[in-house]
Amino acid sequence: MALCPECEAAIDVEDDEVEEGQTLDCPECGAELEVVSTNPVELNTIADEGDEEAEDEW
């Protein structure tokens, strides 16, 4: 079990079912999450890189 860093929903992942670097979607808020640690499972939101820069150029 891990918590979504975005909405703090409990996400049902077991530490032996995921690998570091694996990505998954939060079922509650839809955020794209990356597994940064597996014991215990810790999740990070994957930043949408590029979007802000693209706006900047305009």
The residue among 4 and 38 lying less far from Zn ion, judged by its C-beta, is 4
**Residue 5 beta carbon to Zn ion: minimum distance, rounded to whole angstroms:** 8
Q: Which of 10, 23, 28, 47 binds Zn ion (CB under 5 A)?
A: 28
Q: Does 26 bind Zn ion (CB under 5 A)?
A: yes
DSSP string, the chain: -EE-TTT--EE---TTT--TT-EEE-TTT--EEEEEEETTEEEEEPP-TTHHHHHHH-
**Residue 26 beta carbon to Zn ion: minimum distance, rounded to whole angstroms:** 3
Chain residues binding Zn ion by CB under 5 A are 4, 6-7, 9, 26, 28-29, 31
